[in-house]
Amino acid sequence: MKCIINRRAQFSASHRYWLPERSEAENLEWFGPCTRSPGHGHNYILYVSMEGDLDEYGMVLNLSDVKHVIKQEVTSQLDFSYLNEVWPEFQQTLPTTENVARVIWQRLAPHLPLVRIQLFESPELWADYYGDDMEAYLTISTHFSAAHRLARPDLSFEENCEIYGKCARPNGHGHNYHLEVTIKGQMDPRTGMIADLVAFQKAVDEYVVEPFDHTFLNKDIPYFMEVVPTAENIAVHIRDLLQQPIREIGAELYKVKLIESPNNSCEVYGVQPVEPTWVKSDREPVLASR
């Protein structure tokens, strides 16, 4: 029986985004504050995912052996290092989050049956790499606060209460929404980036966070004057809002995850825009947990 196991590790390191073949002005335009010398640092969190068959002892791999390999091949070399200089790979391609994940895969692949490398540069930024050449996934997380009411306009108050319970109360209720947006793309062989991180963050802020934050979604966001702002419909709308802006920065929108509360979240993937779920009889594919 196949099983995936995950091992967590961590290291602290610094890096700098700077290309010597570009002028100072060009570097500043591309990388902003990340060009500052001698660099800046992060507490990186690394998750190594491996797949295999269970052995007679009920294990895929001996985790003590896995820990030793990760330490020997990765963390002992990267911890308290300057990434630009510690490995030759980072002199050719800058040590962005996504590229560090890629190179860690290359270092571990001869020793472990990898299926994913996930690297957190911070709780708000992380990359996933699956061993597919220069393709990677980059996620940023953010938040907004908003109120909503769950009620279909074509149903009576009693009918809405039967469907949505307390969420149908006339004056609504609020959430601190946590939003994760994941893009997919090919890393530039020199910059190591899927897309301009500043432009990525700006797109999410401009099209979602600023318009949605501190609003009553049903009244302040035109789309939700006619569409019930369930977590699923909000996530679908966010996905549709971000499709074109993400394409414009040279990447593909892969996933939107919206966490409404610790007990309620949903994920939608970057497919074409669709009608809201209550308008059509066939529901939009949504992964939800309540």
- Active-site amino acid positions: 167, 214, 260
CA-based radius of gyration for the chain: 22
Pull the structure tokens for residue 20: 């010597």
Residue pair 154/90 in contact (Cβ under 8 Å)? The answer is: no
CA angle 185, 191, 195 (to 5 degrees): 35
What sign does the dihedral 34-31-187-185 (CA atoms) show?
positive
Query: Which of 67, 82, 64, 131 has its CA nearest to residue 104?
Result: 131
- In the numeric block, the tokens 């570009």 are attached to 22
Q: 219 phi and psi, to 5 degrees?
A: -105, -30
Pull the structure tokens for residue 125: 């930024």
CA distance 201 to 140: 7
